Structure 1
Amino acid sequence: MQWMAWTTPTAIFFLVIAGLLVVFTVLGVRYPETPRRGILRIDTTRGDRLFITLLGSAFINAGWLALSGLPQWWALGICALWAAAVFRWV
């Protein structure tokens, strides 16, 4: 796999995503939930909120790279706030 840049941060990223999927699968089996209606006025489950969080975080990080010269760690902090807001209100 020489064509892909498998660095430590890349491996950590994929491991975190895989870990989240495993945790959410176990939570879904152990504690089934009914969809809830949040601020978006659509029914969402844990998995839906995780998807919205990951998608929003990708846009936050891409925008941060395009518009800011500050370290990417700041974008990670914004993504954490975004995730907390999505899981609380969406």
Structure 2
Amino acid sequence: MGLSWMAWTWPTAAFFLFIAAAIATMGIWEVFEPGGGPRRGVFGLDTTRGDRLFITLVGSAFIFLGWLAFYGTPLWGGLAIAITWAVFVFWKV
């Protein structure tokens, strides 16, 4: 059984590789600096590094969906907003 039913393109593969790399990086970070104690951010939530990664990924998904709904392709603008969102979440949340 092959995977020909899926639309495996280079962008799709890059997306999944990025998610795997982000999770691996967070795991390595946890090994070298355990704990990552919770902190209270601007939204009033106590979050750890893993929580902030999850918030970043979910928020980025909604940013890209919104960009597709209002502007279509290309997604460079959505990518810029998603990167800005990721920096904000890891710095302030």
Q: TM-score range by the shorter chain?
A: over 0.9
TM-score w.r.t. the length of structure 2 is 0.91
From 49, 52, 58, the equivalent of 2:52 is 49
Figure out how many residues of one structure are paired with residues of the other and give that number: 90
Within the candidate set 17, 20, 25, 1:18 is matched to 20
Taking the aligned partners of 1:16 and 1:71, their CA distance within structure 2 comes to 19
Identity %: 56
Give runs of ≥4 in structure 1 deviating > 4 Å: none
For the residues of structure 1 that align with 2:9 and 2:19, how far apart are their CA atoms? 16
1:12-39 CA-to-partner distances (Å, cap 9, x unmatched) read 1100100010000110121022111111
Length-normalised TM-score, structure 1: 0.94
Displacement of 1:42 in angstroms is 1.5
Distance verdict in 2 for CA 1:47–1:6, change over 3 Å: same
CA shift for structure 1 position 55: 0.3
Stretches of structure 1 lacking an aligned partner (at least 5 in a row): none
Tell me if 1:27 matches 2:29: yes
Superposition deviation, residue 70 in structure 1? 5.5
Aligned to 1:9: 11
**Separation (CA, whole Å) in 1 of partners of 2:32 and 2:88:** 24
Q: Which of 81, 84, 93 is the matching residue for 1:81?
A: 84
Other structure's SS at 2:57 match = helix
Question: What is the alpha-carbon distance in structure 2 between the residues aligned to residue 70 and residue 2 of structure 1?
Answer: 24
